[in-house]
């Protein structure tokens, strides 16, 4: 009975957020958007989607060459917008780096901030075996960066009474995720940071959201390029990004892509012990396969 109620609630909330809840015209929020992790996957697709809607973009990512390539690609398709680039490695960012970023965007009318940059594990692994630098990077990139950037853009958004902060979380931040414990916890941080800030900003004209993808056909999610093909339940970054941008302003925590919402509805309706077992077995299989591949590579070298 409870499982059925959960499923019905999830489906009803999906239909409400998709068809009844009003989104916003992102162009009216401001003439510029900042997108982190903007040269690949979801970030690049979001930048293209915002450019398509006539918004100028600040692309923030680690590698200057890839930033310039992405800028050229987007301007080739949408030549009427402006694009600025800022090279920044969030895993090793200093206070001076954040000051430099702030100086680059402080005079722009930022209407939308997409905190997209994120890292995960190289493969599923037990906590005690994860290098300290990887753990530090997960926290710096997935958590500290979005807090710092949100702090940067909020004063001008609040002054204008217009703006949207979109944090890219993960559905896996709302369930236990063995062998990805730090990644899972970092996304749970995104969930509760977004919800808390959303409530903090009520009535001020500025929104904060957590957008939760499930599986998207990106390098981060699917390292093997031969398997990285968009499907109904594993959409391309472009398909997911279009849903995400259309969902701006539709609640504090949103699963933007319709098929993901239906997947999530099924998962939350299942008994917790069953979800835990399926996730554990799946991740343990990934871990064993990765270790086997690593050992084989070590023997052949």
Banded pLDDT at 123 (limits 50, 70, 90): very high
Residue 287 is assigned to a structural domain of this protein: no
* Paired tokens of 229: 């093909």
Banded pLDDT at 10 (limits 50, 70, 90): low
How many structural domains are present in the chain?
A: 1
- Print the domain residue range for 180: 2-270
Q: Could you give the residue numbers annotated as active site?
A: 183
Residue 290 is assigned to a structural domain of this protein: no
* Whether residue 9 has pLDDT greater than 70: no
Higher local confidence (pLDDT), 200 or 172: 200
Residue 42 is assigned to a structural domain of this protein: yes
Residue 276 is assigned to a structural domain of this protein: no
- Report pLDDT for 120: 94
pTM score, two decimals? 0.91
- Report pLDDT for 22: 60
What values do phi and psi take at 23, rounded to 5?
Answer: -85, -160
- Summarised one tens digit per residue, pLDDT across range 46-102 is 999 999 999 999 999 999 999 999 999 999 999 999 999 999 999 999 999 999 999
The Cα 143–Cα 121 span in angstroms is: 15
CATH of the domain at 260: 3.40.50.720
Share of the chain above pLDDT 90, in %: 83
- Summarised one tens digit per residue, pLDDT across range 164-185 is 999 999 998 999 999 999 999 9
Residue 298 is assigned to a structural domain of this protein: no
- Report pLDDT for 20: 52
Banded pLDDT at 14 (limits 50, 70, 90): low
Residue 278 is assigned to a structural domain of this protein: no
Mean pLDDT of all residues in the chain? 93
How are beta strands 83-87 and 253-254 bridged, if at all? unpaired
Q: What is the mean pLDDT of residues 268-296?
A: 93
The Cα 258–Cα 279 span in angstroms is: 22
Residue 234 is assigned to a structural domain of this protein: yes
Residue 74 is assigned to a structural domain of this protein: yes
How are beta strands 32-36 and 56-61 bridged, if at all? parallel
How are beta strands 83-87 and 206-211 bridged, if at all? unpaired
């Amino acid at each position: 009975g409870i499982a059925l109620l959960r499923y019905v609630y999830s489906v009803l909330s999906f239909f409400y957020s998709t068809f009844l809840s009003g989104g916003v015209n992102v162009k009216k929020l401001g003439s510029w958007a900042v997108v982190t992790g903007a040269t690949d996957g979801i970030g690049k697709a979001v930048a293209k989607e915002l450019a398509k809607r006539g918004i100028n973009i600040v692309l923030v990512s680690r590698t200057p060459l890839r930033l310039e390539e992405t800028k050229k690609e987007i301007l080739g398709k949408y030549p009427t917008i402006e694009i600025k680039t800022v090279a920044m490695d969030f895993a090793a960012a200093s206070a001076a780096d954040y000051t430099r970023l702030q100086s680059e965007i402080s005079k722009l009318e930022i209407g939308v901030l997409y905190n997209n940059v994120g890292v995960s594990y190289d493969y599923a692994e037990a906590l005690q075996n994860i290098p300290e630098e990887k753990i530090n990077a997960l926290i710096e990139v997935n958590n500290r960066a979005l807090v710092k950037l949100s702090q940067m853009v909020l004063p001008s958004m609040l002054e204008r009474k217009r703006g949207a902060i979109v944090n890219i979380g993960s559905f896996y931040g709302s369930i236990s995720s063995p062998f990805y414990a730090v990644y899972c916890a970092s996304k749970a941080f995104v969930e509760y940071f977004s919800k808390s800030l959303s409530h903090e900003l009520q009535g001020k004209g500025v929104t904060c959201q957590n957008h939760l993808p499930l599986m998207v056909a990106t390098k981060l999610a699917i390292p093997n390029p031969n398997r990285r093909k968009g499907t109904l339940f594993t959409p391309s970054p472009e398909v997911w990004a279009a849903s995400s941008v259309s969902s701006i302003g539709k609640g504090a925590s949103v699963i933007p892509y319709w098929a993901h919402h239906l997947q999530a509805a099924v998962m939350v309706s299942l008994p917790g012990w069953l979800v835990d077992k399926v996730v554990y077995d799946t991740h343990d299989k990934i871990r064993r396969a990765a270790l086997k591949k690593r050992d084989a590579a070590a023997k052949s070298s």
